Chain A
Amino acid sequence: MATRYKNLTVTIVAAVLSGSAPLLAGDDPLQAMLNQIREEEQTAGVAAPSSGLASAIQSFNPDISVVIDSMVHGDDARRGIGRILEGTDGFGPVREPGGFDDGFNLREAELFISSVVDPYFRAYTSIVVTEDDAALEEVVVQTTGLPYGLQLKGGKFLSEFSRSNSQHPHDWDFVDRPLVSGLIFGDGGLVEKGVQLSWLAPTPFHLLLGTEALQGENENMFGHLGRDDSGGTLTDHSGPRLWLQWIKIAPPLWGGHEAQFGLFHGYGRHQDEWDDGINDGWFDGHSRFLGTDFVYKYDAPHAYGKGDVTVQGEYMYRGKDLTLEASQSSPGLVGNSRVDQQDGLYLQGAYGFAPRWRAGLRWDYVGLTNRSRLPDRTTQRFDETHRLSAMIDFSPTEFSRLRLQVNRGEYFVDGEREEVYQVFFQALFTLGAHGAHKF
């Protein structure tokens, strides 16, 4: 450094002689020196491809990351956990209920690409690649410049009605999805094409209101079969067929504490097939879900997540009100209705008991309300299913995480109680861009 700037001595002396220079001008001795250093840095930047100009050019590339999510899983269910989830009393038949093979599982590799489009839009896409398949899970364009706290978002996206639904699986505190949302929407959650308008209110506390108009293609809750998929029996309904409203409130708290409460409601059309082994037919009608969720977080003043606490819970109710439009097996029942009413909740917490280590507990309870009124005007009542999960995870860095989890569930399938233990060892790795974490 000493010899590097010797040639500047003349400049400095000249500047000193000319008296005290103005503060924001370039002709004082320090300024002259800094300008020279910056110039040299810039020249060096052109030569070295990793810095300066080169990195400025690279900054037009979108941020790309890949999350690899794999695990070893074992359960003691006779027919596998997937079959049990699929037939859970009151909720079944659940389409795409999830579930894992005994042994090695490659859950997914998620490719996440995001970038600012221009001064008005930002976009991201998440492509989920499994062993035989690739699916466009999310592709979203959102506004960045709307006034009055408004934001418009469109494309295909995970609905943001609840915290658990808006998170990607690798962001969860446990390996698997909470029972209630998995049984109501299927293992993929509620992910739909549509638009979302949200408004951050000018209140002294955080108040976010959102409404979503979605296509309505979730087979379990908001399915659409139309003429083509129902042998010409059902009518076609044009989209959007599903409407959501939600509200999130975060009261002001002190220190490292933060909490957020949410209320949500969704209502839309639903068409379904009646296929319980005895009856057949086609239903058309509406489904509704509503509920509440909360999250509390404590960000402890220790390094590597020690002492951090997250507590999260959700309650959700769903009702389906359908009319039997056609039936070959029971033509006398056509015109009668079928009403399904189910609900469930979960409560979970995770605690950073040591630097980089967390332990967590989760309690799932579904079917507090659990009844179906069938077209023959009989009402079936079902038992509750519950599950307790415990996990320990270790995150060597922000980019890798290893997790051990045990589930003990008491499920009711066809009126029979089944007790199932599950063990997971999950490994999560993130390659590429550094992601920012949502609250």
Chain B
Amino acid sequence: MNIRSTTSLILTAAMLSTAQALAGPLIIVTTTSDLKSITESIAGDRATVSAICEGTRDAHYLQARPSFIMMARDADLWIRAGMELEIGWEPMILDGARNPDIRVGGPRHLDASEKVLKLDVPTQRLSRALGDVHPSGNPHYWTDPLNGRIVAETIAERLIRVDAAGAETYRANLAAFQKALDERMFGADLVQRFGGSTLWARQLQGTLDSFLGENGASEMLGGWVARMRPLKGRRIVTYHKNWTYFVNRFGLEVAIELEPKPGIPPSPAHLSRVVDLMREQGINTILIAPIYPPRAANRVAADVRAKVLVRAHSVGGLPAASDYLSLIDEIVNDLAETL
């Protein structure tokens, strides 16, 4: 290639990228399908959103493929789940994309975990003998609808900064998304009377029941909270620690995981421990995401006559979980019917 043709190629590239910046909707790339769904709710028509990791894939293990690098190259905004969930592939994608603004620390790089409430944050020195543990805590935070609500706000804030012309749209969409989420959580009647924010604050504080009682509103409770209320304190078994946040929000408990340690597949010895524990405590439900092999769960379930619930833990993991709210809907409905 001679110098003249190189120069003209570079100039063409420059013109193309400028043209891209001026015309059309924002191009947003999220690492996970859950972030994609929430971002779509906030951005509306002002952006096209695509996700690197589809819901049918395990976000822990993905390869930094050239097609992902293409997505990142063209991104006006990069949104990641964070908490080292994508540590095995995000650095290679951001490195290969030649898009300085979306690198960590860049103005168009957003870590959605910035403000979420974190669980399983290690308080002691970590060791890989513990399996695939994450120094900043359990990264599957989106299964707590409150974290979904917080993430929506984090995304809206950044969108307003990146695309100020759309500020009004983003504010309105955020309000609509949070209202829809609050109504599914507490029921429309309660949200109308007290406002979602108050109900969430009470829920977080553990005083929702007494608050409703004092205001004579106990009968008005609907939504996920109402459906899950009878299950408070119930114990279930999961495959991986990816329901921790959900279970914590609705007052259930995970007795044990099928994985002996995060990221380590079930061993026969560990499964027999699981069987013993389930018998001992009368646990009858195993919750497993479709990305994991169902064999171990089925074997244990056959032994103790329990039910295996295969439920998406990310948007798109199963067809019914088509967006963020229906993802939570599905889990709540199935657990409420089974337990």
Contact = CB atoms under 8 A, between A and B. Distances in A.
A6 B210 CA distance: 13
A33 to B, nearest CB: 5
Interface residues of B, number: 76
A436 B123 CA distance: 26
Given A50-B123, A200-B96, A252 B207 contact: no
Which 3 A-B pairs give the minimum distances between C-beta atoms?
Answer: A2-B206, A250-B66, A206-B66
A252 B13 CA distance: 20
Interface residues of A, number: 71
Contacts of B100: 144-147
Contact of B205 (A2, A21, A148, A305): A2
Contacts of B57: 299, 301
Contact of A439 (B14, B66, B87): B66
A77 interface: no
Interface in B174-232: 174-175, 178, 194-198, 200-202, 204-207
A32 B95 CA distance: 38
B73 A33 contact: no
Interface string A1-37: 1100110110010011000110110001111111001
A50 B124 contact: yes
B177 to A, nearest CB: 10
Contact of B88 (A51, A204, A306, A434): A434
| Of listed A30, A145, A301, A305, residue having the most chain B CB within 10 A | A30
A202 interface: yes
A23 B175 contact: yes
26 contacts: A15-B198, A23-B175, A24-B153, A28-B195, A30-B196, A33-B205, A34-B204, A48-B123, A116-B104, A144-B95, A146-B98, A147-B100, A202-B12, A209-B1, A250-B66, A252-B70, A253-B67, A258-B63, A299-B62, A301-B57, A303-B265, A397-B131, A398-B263, A436-B92, A437-B89, A439-B65
Contacts of A205: 70
A292 B201 CA distance: 62
A12 B202 contact: yes
A6 B100 CA distance: 46
Interface in A101-156: 116, 119, 122, 144-151
B216 to A, nearest CB: 16
Contact of B92 (A147, A306, A437): A437
A38 interface: yes
| Of listed B121, B265, B293, residue having the most chain A CB within 10 A | B121
A399 B67 contact: no
A328 interface: no
Contacts of B293: 302-303, 306, 355
Interface in B33-54: none
A258 B240 CA distance: 28
A6 B56 CA distance: 41
Contacts of A209: 1
Contact of A150 (B98, B195, B198, B202): B98
A436 B90 contact: yes
Contacts of A24: 153, 156-157, 171, 174
A308 B222 CA distance: 45
Contact of A202 (B17, B58, B156): B17
B332 interface: no
Nearest to A22: B171
A44 to B, nearest CB: 9
Contacts of B13: 148-149, 199, 201-202
Interface of B: 1, 9-10, 12-14, 16-17, 56-58, 61-67, 69-70, 73, 84, 87-92, 95-98, 100, 103-105, 115, 117-118, 121-126, 128, 131-132, 135-136, 150, 153, 156-157, 171, 174-175, 178, 194-198, 200-202, 204-207, 263-265, 291-293
Given A20-B195, A200-B73, A438-B64, A356 B202 contact: no
Nearest to A431: B128
A303 B291 CA distance: 6
A252 B67 contact: yes
Given A9-B207, A50-B135, A149-B73, 5 more contacts: A29-B198, A122-B95, A297-B65, A398-B61, A398-B132
Contact of A50 (B87, B122, B157, B291): B122
B197 A299 contact: no
A295 to B, nearest CB: 10
B64 A439 contact: yes
A436 B87 contact: yes
A316 B87 CA distance: 35
Contacts of A8: 201, 205
Nearest to B194: A16
A258 B66 CA distance: 8
B128 A50 contact: no
Nearest to A308: B63
Contacts of B174: 23-24
Contact of B197 (A5, A30, A41, A252): A30
A167 interface: no
Contacts of B202: 12
Contact of A149 (B98, B115, B204): B98
Contacts of A399: 128
A397 B128 contact: yes
Contact of B136 (A5, A55, A199): A55
A186 B190 CA distance: 74
Contact of B64 (A5, A31, A436): A436
A143 to B, nearest CB: 9
A125 B17 CA distance: 33
B160 to A, nearest CB: 8
A397 B103 contact: no
Contacts of B58: 303
Interface string A225-265: 00000000000000000000100001011000010100000
